[in-house]
Structure 1
Amino acid sequence: MSDSLERPDLHKSVVPKEADLLSFKMTGRPLPLDDVASEFRLMRDCLKKPLTEEVAIRICEKSGSHLVKLVSPRVDGAHAVLRFDDPDANRKSSILPSVNAPDIPFCKVVYRPLEVIGHSSVSVVDHILNSEDHSGAVLDAFSEVFGEDVLAAMRHALLSEFKSPLKLGAGEFPIIFIPRPGGGDVQITPVSPALTFTGMRELGKRRYQKRDPEGPKINRGKWVDLAVSSKPQNISGAIGGPRVRFLATMPAAMRQGEAELFRFVNGGGFPRWRDEEVSVWVLRYADMQEADATYNNIDTRAALDRTADRLIRDASEFIRDTLEDAKHFAERQEMREQGVPAPPGVAQILIRRHWGKNYDRARKALTSPHFEDRLRKSRSAGEAQT
């Protein structure tokens, strides 16, 4: 087998487009580890100006886990970035750049996830912040192409103690006061992590897409979006597309009966028959069976038959009505086109309730030869009518 077929670097024979080289996303260009330097050279050739030590410091110092400009565009550039690390994590938080437009191409070099074969796809910035087993080779390749001074400047800017913003723009920032443990209040201003916005963009792609009529339902909520800015690159080139605000309206909580129908049409248990009189009549039927064993005559036998037939008739009606409700519910919810599941038998419907100490009496009555006989006659009568 030829070397070109053994190694997935066939893209070398074709001059790649700039969009395939400078990007904030993976570009689908898998690289052997010893070809990373060649990839950096292709990226360098796409730049209109050189990536210098000064540029490296500038773009790294304007990168953070929280971008204050996402709250207000009037924030001063020197006070627009925050960096917070999770104290319980053993990794530094991911960061995004918030730079002027001329610096975005440089950011697309150091923030592009490099798809090194056999390793996780991470950027130069990530290799510096959270070193992996192949980070040394990737950073050596970077310094070989862009210079050791540029790599050293990036390390210093990313790993040194970061200066926190000292002032905020006026207008859009929410202000919340919380009590101090020792008395008085603390004024706080919540700011969302920058990755929240990229994550919501990916979520929005799934939530707002058109549903395939033959496919599964996408979501159970109503999502409405409103574009508030068409130029998010003024905040961060890594946050593409228009910024949006969204409103998600979730379905109202189901009542107990609706929830049981929902579970049933999705393969769950059959809804319970909650008529309290059912327990009374089942126990009365159990008493009549015990009495019939001692005082057996035509009258007690007829009463026993009538009671069993009443229980069977009412339970059968409950099953039919519930199945009809389940079919309509499934149609409204666009669920289970193959139909609703099969229902349980009459005895199971009658026994599924709270009995306390009377469970054994009820079970004995509903599994007795007399009840089984009345069930058979009921089914035979139903088939004859059909």
Structure 2
Amino acid sequence: MQKTPKGKASAEPAPPGAPGFTLNYTDPGAPIGVADIAGLYGRIREALAKPATAKKSEASDQAEAGVVEAGAGEGAPETSPKAFADNSEAFGAVTRFSGTHILKIHSKNARDHVLDFPTVTNTNRPRRKFPSMNAGWGMYAKIAYQPIAVLGHDGSNSLIDHITTPNELSEQFLASFAAAFSQESLDAIIEGTRCAKTGVSELHFENLPIVYLPDGQGGEMQVTPLSPLEAMGNFKSAVLKKGESHKSPLTNQEISSKMQNISVAIGGDRSRFRAIVPNAMRSFEAAVWRYARGGRVPAIPGEEITDLLDTLQAFHARREKHSDGTDGVRYTADTEKRFRGLAESILGIAKEWIDDVNQRAVELNPEFSATRTDMRQLLLASWRGARGRNPDERNAAREAVRRALNGLVFMRTMNGAAS
């Protein structure tokens, strides 16, 4: 029988009673009779036995393809075949690490990367599950997930299906498996289906969660955020194909079926989104970007505005002390004139800054509409004085600047400029 690429169904399923068939995750092949259920898994295990004289490469190719042949083949020496091992650990891992949602991982040692949400679809059936464990145990997953169709009965079901959604034939399938392998392996599979997988508590520091979904054509595509592996639907046509001129952000890449690459049940080409990481914005660019979308006006950068505000505060304090009659404080008409001139300069800097920022905001967001800016708030946010002092001293200095901005001279200058 022609070998089949790993993870793929046979192109021509064998008819009932044929000497061989191909293990896979989706194609049930030809149906079997009810009477054949009892010996089904015994036949599978026997067919997976490797002739003692078979070359390692041939046996490896056969295992990789999942091709089950009932016999050593014409002309093969009559030696005792090497039985396909019963491995309860491997069978248990199949269901422990199976789920409806699987995180892409970079470490083969991950133990917490599978989620299982048994939400039914609009067809009133559970979502399809995918195994994601050690790729070396892939054949055990194929055995457990191989769908089997039975003559006279609708649909097809795997061993996993018979455990999670049993029907009138399920007991016969479970008994067949236990007889061919062991009750211990069957119990391990059943126990694995009972594991709660509704949350991922931790991931290895090397892991980067990436999620794949079926693409509706037998392949898969990378997508985020996390969605059911079976929930692809019309995603491609509805989201990606927006017209002939739309350039699809997809690229194909051949990926192995190792656990790190999502699931032993999915191999071959995969479609991934091409992602271009934008350059990191500098603090000013980020502040303007936020402002263009409804945020506050960015603070005026540099030390100059802080020095001017500290001088403004000194003028204001001197004026207050003179008004209070403090001895030795000289405050003349020339001092008042210089005070007002400084206030005008500060307001000019603030206005020029706002105009520049508004122009930049429109470039980033054509729908941006500038609103009235509180000059005093902007200037106080731009003050960066009293560095190196303790918090109490810095707060006191900031409060002094705030009083100067709310003082009579600055308010009159600001209102006069506005009028």
Structure-1-length-normalised TM-score:
0.50
Larger radius of gyration: 2
Instruction: Give the structure with the higher percent helix.
Output: 1
Structure-2-length-normalised TM-score:
0.47
